[in-house]
A = this chain, B = another copy of it.
Amino acid sequence: MARMSHTLDPAIASALKRTPDGLVAAVVQDATTGAVLMQAWMDDAALARTLATREATYWSRSRSEQWIKGLTSGHTQHVRTVRLDCDGDTVLLTVDQVGGACHVGDTTCFDARELLGEEDA
């Protein structure tokens, strides 16, 4: 995959409300099942690359680098749609997920830890 950089449409860039470190949240939903798979972060370049290539691309806060989902694991996300929320700080992606979305092997990153269950459970 080419390492060329992508530039964000100025109309989109001006609509973003970024965190102090220049990121927007990205919520990722399975286009088929509707499951919320993961939440990640994007800088402008990652969002631009996602829109241009339909390969879900994020910014890793822990590694401080751009991260193309599935590049090493093979668990890619083909992006079907991207929507921006009303206050401009979050994008919602619907994707075709190959394999598990979570790096620990789970289907979603929310599988392992339930903080509150159903009332009648």
Q: Most chain-B CB neighbours within 10 Å: which of A29, A51, A115? A: A115
* Given known A-B contacts A29-B36, A36-B27, A109 and B86 have beta carbons under 8 A apart: yes
A113 touches B90 (CB 8 A): no
B interface footprint on A13-47 (CB within 8 Å = 1, 0 otherwise)? 00100011100010101000011101100000000
A106: chain B residues at CB < 8 Å are 86
Judging by beta carbons under 8 Å apart, are B89 and A110 in contact? no
Q: Quick one: closest B residue to A116, CB to CB?
A: B82
Which of B34, B85, B110 interacts with A92 by CB under 8 Å?
B110
Given pairs A54-B116, A84-B110, A84-B113, 15 additional interface contacts (CB within 8 A) = A15-B113, A39-B85, A39-B90, A39-B92, A54-B119, A80-B118, A80-B119, A81-B118, A82-B115, A83-B111, A83-B113, A83-B114, A84-B114, A86-B104, A92-B110
